[in-house]
Amino acid sequence: MEIFDQVEKLIGEINAYPISNAEELEQFRIAYLGSKNSIKPIFGRIKDVPNERKKEFGQKVNEAKQTAEARFKELQSSLKNAGTSDKYKTFDPTLPMDGEWEGSRHPVSIVMNKIIHVFEKIGFEVAEEREIEDDWHNFTAMNTPEDHPARDMQDTFYLKDSKSSLLRTHTSSVQARVMTSQKPPIRIIAPGRVYRNETISARSHCQFHQVEGLYIDKNVSFADMKQTLLYFAREMYGADTDIRLRPSFFPFTEPSAEMDVWMGTDTDATKRLTKGTGWLEVLGCGMVDPNVLKNCDIDPEVYSGFAFGIGIERTAMQKYEINDIRLLFENDLRFLKQFSSAT
Ligand code: PHE
């Protein structure tokens, strides 16, 4: 019967359809699988087929349809593969590099790594902790009373409107984490990011970095702290660097001090940096308050210790003569490319 021949012809056509690119494949799809495909009208002629052959005819038309679908899938995936292999043909992994910039350390990382290295040399170990803290580790354990201004909503970023989940305001929270999980002697250095709800300007930011130090053992004295910090200053700023300790206050240390490093007043830059005094403020420190030890289940009758917190941004800004703290957080390549990739 002529109509059977037509289906047969159609199947032949589907099998022989030349396809070598995506466009031809799309034409094939429209011709045999689209809504106006050429299989449909042939099937419509089933009414002309005598009843006893209708089933056979239906099967034949189905075969045409399935052939088209199978061919489409097969061609689609072979075209896709051809695309990839083409790409690999033009990619030669043995070619020499074109000398592109290979990245560099961020100034904050350079300074942080340097500080870590200085303390590692005298036996401090790095302790890293969470940036999302609870109120206890950030404030309560650190002997910061309920009504201390640092707890104010203005300074602290609280999470989910809660008073207990917050972004740590200082790395001193790591002191509490370490003292509640390790037994003395403790000698750690804790670098990391901290957050305060401050107006962003050239001098201050809502995020910055600190390196915390904590040393707890029997018979640790203020003199031990002073000597450790002098060693640090000389490693950091040069062998004949002088330091001074000014009395200060922190809820978690008693007595407390701030350490300045002598920069001199010889140049305009050092004058500006030290506001004419020659002294640059570098860190806060002090003997760990007995209340803090008690809060962390360490007996203050047996153990004592010192702690300090170094601000990284300020040190980096001084070292690289960066006059706007915001540059450290913008990731502008023109700025970052100026630093070496070393350390
Ligand atoms: N946590 C203090 C601050 O952020 C710094 C500090 C750390 C002071 C440890 C004393 C001891 O300013």
What is the atom index within ligand 1 of the atom nearest the CA of 256? 10
Residue with the smallest CA separation from ligand 1 atom 7 is 309
What is the atom index within ligand 1 of the atom nearest the CA of 175? 9
Task: Tell me the percentage of the chain whose pLDDT exceeds 90.
Answer: 62
Q: Does residue 86 register a pLDDT over 60?
A: no
Position 2 scores a pLDDT of: 82
Angstrom distance (rounded) from CA 89 to CA 75: 21
Residue with the smallest CA separation from ligand 1 atom 5 is 309
Average pLDDT score over residue span 167-192: 97
**What distance in angstroms lies between residue 321's CA and the mean position of ligand 1's atoms?**
24
Residue with the smallest CA separation from ligand 1 atom 9 is 308
Q: Does residue 158 register a pLDDT over 60?
A: yes
Residue with the smallest CA separation from ligand 1 atom 4 is 170
CA distances for 302 relative to 56, 94, 129, 132, 296, angstroms = 98, 65, 27, 32, 14
Angstrom distance (rounded) from CA 133 to CA 159: 10
Position 45 scores a pLDDT of: 87
For the chain, give the mean pLDDT: 90
CATH number of 107-339: 3.30.930.10
Position 87 scores a pLDDT of: 56
**Ligand 1 pocket by Cβ (under 6 Å):** 170, 172, 212, 250, 253, 284-286, 307-309
Q: Does residue 111 register a pLDDT over 90?
A: yes
For the ranges 51-55, 59-63, 269-273, the lowest mean pLDDT is seen at: 269-273
**What distance in angstroms lies between residue 310's CA and the mean position of ligand 1's atoms?**
8
**What distance in angstroms lies between residue 267's CA and the mean position of ligand 1's atoms?**
30
What is the atom index within ligand 1 of the atom nearest the CA of 194? 4
**What distance in angstroms lies between residue 15's CA and the mean position of ligand 1's atoms?**
79
Of the residues 124, 252, 289, which should be mutated to test ligand 1's pocket, given the most ligand atoms within 8 Å of the CB?
252
Q: Does residue 91 register a pLDDT over 80?
A: no
Q: Does residue 161 register a pLDDT over 90?
A: no
- Residue 165 pLDDT grade (very low, low, confident, very high; cuts 50, 70, 90): very high
Q: Where are the domains of the chain?
A: 2-90, 107-339
Q: What is the pLDDT of residues 298-332, one digit of tens each?
A: 999 999 999 999 999 989 998 898 989 999 999 99
What is the atom index within ligand 1 of the atom nearest the CA of 309? 7
Task: Give the DSSP H/E element, type plus range, for residue 76.
Answer: helix 51-89
What is the atom index within ligand 1 of the atom nearest the CA of 171? 1
- Residue 342 pLDDT grade (very low, low, confident, very high; cuts 50, 70, 90): low
- Residue 171 pLDDT grade (very low, low, confident, very high; cuts 50, 70, 90): very high
For the ranges 26-40, 196-210, 329-343, the lowest mean pLDDT is seen at: 329-343
Position 59 scores a pLDDT of: 92
Of the residues 170, 188, 222, 281, which should be mutated to test ligand 1's pocket, given the most ligand atoms within 8 Å of the CB?
170
Q: Does residue 188 register a pLDDT over 70?
A: yes
The answer to whether the CB of 168 falls within 8 A of the CB of 144 is no
Q: What is the pLDDT of residues 20-56, one digit of tens each?
A: 888 888 899 999 998 888 888 888 888 888 999 999 9
Beta pairing partners, 260:
244, 281
Position 83 scores a pLDDT of: 61
Q: In terms of C-beta density within 10 A (0-12 exposed, 13-18 middle, 19 or more buried), how is residue 18 classed?
A: exposed
**What distance in angstroms lies between residue 308's CA and the mean position of ligand 1's atoms?**
6
Position 193 scores a pLDDT of: 97
Position 149 scores a pLDDT of: 78
Task: Give the DSSP H/E element, type plus range, for residue 167.
Answer: strand 165-167
**Which pTM does this prediction carry?**
0.71
**What distance in angstroms lies between residue 119's CA and the mean position of ligand 1's atoms?**
17
Calculate ∠ Cα 144-260-190, nearest 5°: 50
What is the atom index within ligand 1 of the atom nearest the CA of 284? 8
Highest mean pLDDT among 15-19, 33-37, 203-207, 243-247: 243-247
Nearest C-alpha neighbor of 168 from the set 151, 148, 145? 151
Q: Does residue 85 register a pLDDT over 70?
A: no
Position 96 scores a pLDDT of: 78
Position 262 scores a pLDDT of: 94
